[in-house]
Amino acid sequence: MASSQPREWTGLQQFPVATQNALHTLLGKLRNEDVKSLTVLVLGKGGVGKSSTVNSLVGERVAVVSAFQSETMRTVLCSRVRAGFTLNIIDTPGLVEGLFVNDHALDTIRRSLLNKTIDVMIYVDRLDGYRVDNLDRQVVRAIARSFGPQIWKVGMVALTHAQLSPPDGISYADFVARRSAALLETIQKEVGFKKGDPEIPVALIENSGRCSTNSGGEKVLPDGTVWLPKLVEHIVDIATSSVPAVPIDKKLIDGPNANKRGKMFVPIIFLLQYLLVIKPMQMLIKYDMHNESENGPPWEKLSKRETEVAEK
């Protein structure tokens, strides 16, 4: 994994004053909870705006974004330090190649994270997608399979390209609600969420320069939301919740030991073989031996009949 050395988080100073104040307040919440570092994993299909979102969060260009290259080609770790707090953001390659999930990319990402602990996972998709298809379901399942279903319990959804005009007859709020509900329903169904599991928050993002701004120069969405502090608020809420972070250890990467798992069933198999095969055979042999001892063997009976016939 390509990584940058921890540097001072100077990008914070590039934000408008109101945004800086909001972010400092949120960082203060982490400090009050004695959270000294935070590791955020960014996942999603290619071309949905993962790298741009990383850049927006940090306040500087740390991930390469190109109109001719829709995604980063490798896992990249960006670390920034501010007042004793360390933010680690991990940008990743797209999870789809062609029309299929790129299992090799997922495996590469997972192995590059060995011995790290994921506090928050951001699943990035586009707001201007009009339906959830089978490929979306495959990606959701693949993430749960690679990192364990627990990764979705520290997860949130970030919908990019949020500066849009909905189709005629649909309000912005209604369009966002429908898009969010469809994606969340798919995630909860595919991962197997149960009653009582944490709700997955949704944040709207507009990384492009065409995003509207308010009088203080902060980037706002069509509904008036200042989106960057809202995104960070969701991240902080997940990090300070009671849901445990997800460690990426060797067991997760290599999977359970198949040989050890099989050895557990050996005594049971032997017992079943004894009860269902060996024991019935022993009983049959004893039964035959008992019959022979009382009546004599079958060849002896035949010999007696032949003798009686000959005497007559």
Asked whether residue 144 is marked as a ligand-binding residue, the answer is no
Burial of residue 247 (CB within 10 Å: 0-12, 13-18, 19+) is middle
* Contact by Cβ (8 Å): 93, 73: yes
Is 208 labelled as part of a ligand binding site? no
Q: 245: annotated binding-site residue? A: no
> Any binding-site annotation on 206?
yes
Ligand-binding site membership of 37 (annotated)? no
250 is in an annotated binding site: no
**52 in a labelled binding site:** yes
Residue 45 among known ligand-binding residues: no
Q: Beta-carbon neighbour count of residue 205 at 10 Å?
A: 27
Give the 3-state secondary structure of residue 70.
coil
Is 259 annotated in some ligand binding site?
Answer: no
300 marked ligand binding residue: no
56 is in an annotated binding site: no
Q: Was 181 annotated as part of a binding site? A: no
Question: What is the greatest pairwise CA distance in the chain?
Answer: 130
CA distance 105 to 96: 8
φ, ψ for residue 237 (rounded to 5)? Answer: -60, -40
Nearest Cα to Cα of residue 166 among 157, 153, 177, 155:
177
Query: Is 165 assigned to a binding site?
Result: no
User: Annotated binding site for GTP: which residue ranges?
Assistant: 47-52, 66-71, 161, 206-207
Binding residues for Mg(2+): 51, 69
List, as residue ranges, the binding site: 47-52, 66-71, 161, 206-207
